[in-house]
Amino acid sequence: MVNARTEIGKTLTPYAYIAVGAVSPSSFAKTIPDALGAFLRSAGHISGKRCYAFVGNKGLRKGKVLSSLMKTMESEGMYLKKSDVLTNAAEAEAVGSKLHIDKSVI
């Protein structure tokens, strides 16, 4: 797990599958935090990587925040396989177990 705010410059190049999550910066926000976009721009070679986008169930415009996250990831060349608004930790566990990640590659 990597924190985009504190680990700027960390490379995601060696990973075959990348899950990216965001939380709405405020109740009325429609976009992801700027730090997340900056992190992805500096995360190494991520173009073509299969990925999963998710946001927490916080804020009034979580669908817009998810859309913003997906657009940012796609602008970096990432290949979105799935996206969700997750409501709780149990749902996140269930989704994570179904992502079909080949752990032998990682």
How many residues are listed for the chain in this entry? Answer: 106
- CB neighbour list of residue 89: distance below 8 Å, 6 or more residues apart: none
Residues 30, 68 contacting (CB under 8 angstroms): yes
User: What integer best gives the mean pLDDT of the chain?
Assistant: 86
- pLDDT category at 103 given cuts 50, 70, 90 is low
Residue 17 vs residue 24, higher pLDDT: 17
- pLDDT category at 105 given cuts 50, 70, 90 is very low
Domain ranges (residues) in the chain: 17-96
Sequence letter at residue 34: D
DSSP string, 16-37: SEEEEEE--SSTT--S--HHHH
CATH number of 17-96: 3.40.50.360
Sequence letter at residue 41: R
CB atoms within 10 A of CB 59: 18
Can you tell me the mean pLDDT for 65-86? Answer: 93
Question: Against a cut of 0.85, is the pTM above it?
Answer: no
